[in-house]
Amino acid sequence: MLRITDTIAIQDWELTENFVRASGPGGQNVNKVATAVELRFEAATSPSLTGPVKARLRRLAGRRWTNEGALILQCDETRSQARNRDIARDRLAELIKKALTPPKRRIPTRPTLGSKKRRLKSKKVRGEVKAMRGKVDPSD
């Protein structure tokens, strides 16, 4: 079981770990031992998370979210399988903690008088620059 907060814990049946061979440094060890971990969390079917949390998690996950509703995290940072496993689980916990906090509601504000004047002035200057790009009259 992976404990996220006091109230939320991910059960073992929701997580699937797949160990594969990693690339990078490690010499012959890389070719022999499957140290990289691929952690799959069935987020869409998880009873631990509420609907809004799942929606925010999906947005945060991006490409790591599959069509089946699973979140896949890969880790091959270290040469140790156990350490990579811990890193992947920590990343999952961190991602879920981020998804738990709802985003702040935006309070619409009106632009200040100064910002309106600066915008109009820059438009005027830009228009004058473009007006000067006309054809040059050779008679002058």
Q: Is residue 111 part of a domain?
A: no
Q: Is residue 123 part of a domain?
A: no
* Rounded mean pLDDT, 73-86: 87
Mean residue pLDDT of the chain comes to 87
Pairing of strands 36-41, 9-10: unpaired
Q: Is residue 112 part of a domain?
A: no
Q: Is residue 138 part of a domain?
A: no
Q: Is residue 109 part of a domain?
A: no
Contacts of 37 (CB under 8 A, 6+ apart): 17, 18, 19, 20, 74, 75, 76, 81, 84, 85, 88
Residue 61's pLDDT is what?
87
Q: How many domains does the chain have?
A: 1
Q: Is residue 124 part of a domain?
A: no
**Which band of pLDDT confidence, cut at 50, 70 and 90, is reported for residue 109?**
very high
Model confidence, pTM: 0.69
Which domain range does residue 70 map to?
2-100
Q: What is the CATH number of the domain that holds 65?
A: 3.30.160.20
Contacts of 100 (CB under 8 A, 6+ apart): 4, 5, 8, 53
Q: Is residue 44 part of a domain?
A: yes
* Rounded mean pLDDT, 26-31: 70
Residue 123's pLDDT is what?
98
Q: Is residue 96 part of a domain?
A: yes
Nearest to 71 by CA among 92, 86, 85: 92
Phi, psi of 62 (to 5 degrees): 65, -125
